[in-house]
């Protein structure tokens, strides 16, 4: 019997934490800390594919382009190019720090970062209803000024950390090069892909591929890939140990093993906030619907512990 294939989606906390400025030293230290816990899966004979977020990073790159145009007249780049920039940069950080972790554990594996396009529908309703948070948190006054100056849309963070810019988050339809991604992983290589949900693109005509301004949800893109390549398991890493209903309320309850139809009921009842846990639960359900065996939502340091996190199973 062959090794199991797991897709692991790194959350934003794996790269940048809320109280940090985002220096390279901070991000590398965070990535190293997250990658340490992947060793638990590798030692259990899993082949690994890594997806990752880029919300803070792509927001910062967009701000850099805005400033460059205003101060120096440098043409700013569209969002799909900014997603590509962050895919490459974050892929490098993960690849480099994971190599350091593997070397320390005496594990010899190739690690390959693939800059990945993901096709979307240009008529997706998400383009009329932006929900995906990108960039740093702002005060209400700062957000109002940026809305006035740039026409950006902001939503208040459900955890009370401030206001963040939101952009369109269309559903992924196809991960380009998914056959190569699967083959490389099943051959024993660790593959980093669909960074930031993938570079959003659509078919303008039957033979013309073009980029589009959006940020695809990284959990949903990772789930879509995992389902299509028939991964055995899917892990979503976040900054809480489990999924909770009635989160931050006196009757808060954590979920351990839960069937898909039960957590779907909680989702429909509004227990999970948009821009926070709701997209992760939807991604889990997408993977299960595609034939996946289980999806676990947890913190990185719980990886490889069969009793940890919230594990969603087919109903």
Residues acting as catalytic residues: 12-13, 132, 218, 280
CB count in 10 Å sphere of residue 140: 11
CA distance 134 to 215: 8
Of 15, 52, 278, 21, the C-alpha closest to 136 is 21
Distance of CA 35 to the CA centre of its chain: 15
Burial of 131 (0-12, 13-18, 19+ CB in 10 A): middle
Query: Which residue's entry shows tokens 């700062």?
Result: 142
Q: Do residues 66 and 76 lie in contact, with contact meaning Cβ atoms separated by under 8 Å?
A: yes
Distance of CA 257 to the CA centre of its chain: 22
């Amino acid at each position: 019997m062959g090794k199991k294939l797991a897709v692991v989606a790194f959350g934003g906390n794996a790269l940048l934490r809320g109280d940090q400025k985002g220096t390279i030293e901070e991000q590398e230290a965070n990535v190293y800390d997250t990658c340490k816990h992947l060793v638990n899966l590798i030692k259990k004979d899993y082949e690994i594919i890594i997806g990752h977020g880029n919300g803070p990073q792509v927001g910062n790159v967009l701000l850099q382009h805005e400033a460059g145009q205003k101060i120096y007249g440098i043409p700013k780049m569209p969002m799909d190019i900014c997603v590509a920039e962050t895919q490459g940069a974050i892929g490098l950080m993960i690849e480099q720090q994971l190599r350091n972790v593997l070397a320390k554990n005496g594990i010899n594996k190739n690690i390959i970062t693939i800059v990945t396009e993901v096709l979307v529908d240009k008529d997706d309703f998400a383009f009329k209803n932006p929900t995906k948070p990108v960039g740093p948190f702002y005060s209400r006054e700062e957000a109002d000024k940026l809305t006035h100056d740039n026409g950006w849309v902001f939503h208040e963070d459900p955890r009370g950390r401030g206001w963040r810019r939101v952009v369109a988050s269309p559903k992924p339809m196809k991960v380009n090069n998914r056959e190569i991604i699967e083959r490389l992983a099943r051959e024993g290589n660790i593959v980093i892909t669909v960074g930031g949900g993938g570079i959003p693109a659509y078919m303008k005509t039957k033979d013309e591929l073009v980029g589009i301004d959006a940020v695809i949800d990284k959990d949903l893109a990772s789930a879509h890939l995992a389902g299509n390549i028939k991964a055995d398991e899917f892990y979503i890493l976040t900054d809480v140990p489990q999924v909770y209903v009635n989160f931050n309320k006196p009757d808060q309850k954590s979920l351990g093993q839960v069937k898909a139809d039960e957590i779907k009921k909680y989702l429909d009842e509004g227990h999970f906030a948009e821009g926070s846990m709701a997209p992760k639960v939807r991604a889990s359900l997408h993977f299960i619907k595609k034939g996946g065996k289980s999806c676990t939502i947890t913190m990185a340091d719980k990886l490889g512990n069969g009793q940890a996190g919230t594990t969603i199973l087919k109903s």
